[in-house]
Homo-oligomer: A and B are copies of this chain.
Amino acid sequence: MRRSEKGGVPMDANERAEFVSLFPVWDHLSPPEQEETIRQARVVHYEDGRRIHQGGDECLGLLLLRKGGVRVYMLSEDGREITLYRLDQGSACILTASCVLSTITFDVHVDAEGETEAYLLDAPYWAELCRQNIYVECLSYRLATERFSEVMWAMQQILFMSLDRRLAVFLSDELVRGGGDTIHLTHEQVARYMGSAREAVSRMLKYFSSEGIVELSRGGIHIKDKKKLRALAAH
């Protein structure tokens, strides 16, 4: 899975430049910290769908995503999954280094979505860097706080259910009315017909899109997964 183990193949100049661009507080590292960080970084590969991190596991470390993405979710004892958020290329995944932050006391699962490549700074090194550089420690907490916001949004959708269900019902009804697979309405129109705020509808449509339920284009809303849509509407 890992191309270069610690102390293995060093990064080439391009990788080095990319790594630096992905590392959010690079300029706050001292030159020796920069050197050591470059030395510690490893390139890791994950196939689509591969489990990267799981609750209760010893933790991996900080991932800087250079390709692909990850899905972060909670898993219940009986196997139900709740997607909390997704991270794309260019993002830093801190919850794979949750053990470094003593204030994080929950477990999540992280899976690769698509062929995924990342720079990994392993947990012991990340912990050391957090201890010695307040900007790195602050970065860790700031990243965690960003994820907190994403989780809160997901939770509101899940717990209060109104908008996603209403939108699913609306789209299902429109499908029946129109007869095809595509609904030729703008987000503005959908929002107006539903009596909701356009931003909220747009955001929810984006969420539907990330879940593979719809595909958004200039021409309208194409329904990709009718079964999933109906399940959402009916639930």
Contact = CB atoms under 8 A, between A and B. Distances in A.
A98 to B, nearest CB: 9
Contact of A152 (B106, B142, B153, B195): B106
Interface residues of A, number: 34
A80 B158 CA distance: 13
A156 interface: yes
A194 to B, nearest CB: 12
Interface in A87-107: 101, 103-106
Contact of A156 (B106, B137, B147, B156): B106
Interface string A149-165: 10111011011101000
Chain copies in the assembly?
2
Contacts of A14: none
A151 B149 contact: no
Q: For the complex of A and B, list the 5 residue pairs with the smallest distance between their C-beta atoms, beginning with the closest.
A: A141-B141, A106-B152, A76-B160, A138-B138, A148-B148
